[in-house]
């Protein structure tokens, strides 16, 4: 039985596309039932529609608190029977109430080897720091900034004199391989959040 999955995006959603393609495999234990965005003009929404996927735009209303917005998002997910949520370039901080409600069923990908370089522009942070090794991380989401329990990571070595553009491109290729692998393991319950840690069966 495939687990109903929603993907939240704010932009073009390249990781969303990688997840959707992986879920099309008959043996994959998750099925994308919804692609949702906080931005009506997110390019990834049109791509999702072209694949025949259900889409949803939830924009924040004037004066609406983060908690109230996230409560609307939660209701939309619950109404559609969603079991797992993947963040794929979703540029909104989620409230503690939301992350608590979806604890162990909410995952994210980040373009660094966490806990190094959390937050925005992680690739640029790593490039400026001159690190020789960086990578990407998939983690369970908690109320902190890119601080949730790590599910898995992939690393790459920076080449001498490598540009930020080259690094970002190579990292994206890694992300597109790692994220579907981690969703597969979470959907199959081969990795679970137990006592604040990602535990592999």
Catalytic positions, written as ranges: 110
With beta carbons less than 8 A apart as the criterion, state whether 103 and 75 touch. Answer: no
DSSP state of 13: -
Q: Which residues are within 8 A (CB) of 134 and not within 5 positions of it... i.e. 6 or more apart? A: 112, 113, 116, 117, 123, 126, 155, 156, 158, 167, 171
Q: Which residues are within 8 A (CB) of 106 and not within 5 positions of it... i.e. 6 or more apart? A: 84, 85, 87, 94, 99, 140, 141
Phi, psi of 19 (to 5 degrees): -65, -45
Nearest CA-CA partner of 180 in 12, 1, 4, 24: 24
């Amino acid at each position: 039985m495939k687990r109903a999955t929603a993907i939240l995006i704010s932009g073009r959603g390249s990781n969303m596309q990688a997840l959707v393609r992986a879920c099309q495999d008959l043996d994959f234990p998750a099925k994308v039932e919804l692609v949702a965005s906080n931005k009506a003009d997110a390019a990834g929404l049109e791509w999702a529609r072209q694949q025949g996927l259900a889409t949803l735009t939830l924009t924040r209303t004037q004066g609406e608190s983060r908690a109230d917005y996230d409560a609307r998002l939660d209701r939309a997910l619950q109404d559609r029977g969603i079991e797992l949520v993947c963040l794929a370039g979703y540029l909104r901080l989620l409230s503690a109430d939301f992350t608590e409600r979806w604890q162990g069923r909410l995952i994210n990908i980040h373009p660094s080897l966490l806990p190094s370089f959390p937050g925005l522009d992680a690739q640029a942070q790593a490039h400026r720091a001159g690190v020789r090794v960086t990578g990407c991380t998939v983690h369970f989401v908690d109320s902190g900034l890119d601080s949730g329990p790590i599910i898995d990571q992939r690393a790459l070595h920076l080449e001498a004199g490598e540009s930020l553009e080259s690094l970002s491109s190579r990292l994206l290729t890694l992300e597109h391989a790692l994220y579907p692998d981690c969703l597969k393991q979470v959907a199959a319950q081969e990795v679970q959040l137990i006592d604040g840690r990602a535990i592999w069966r």
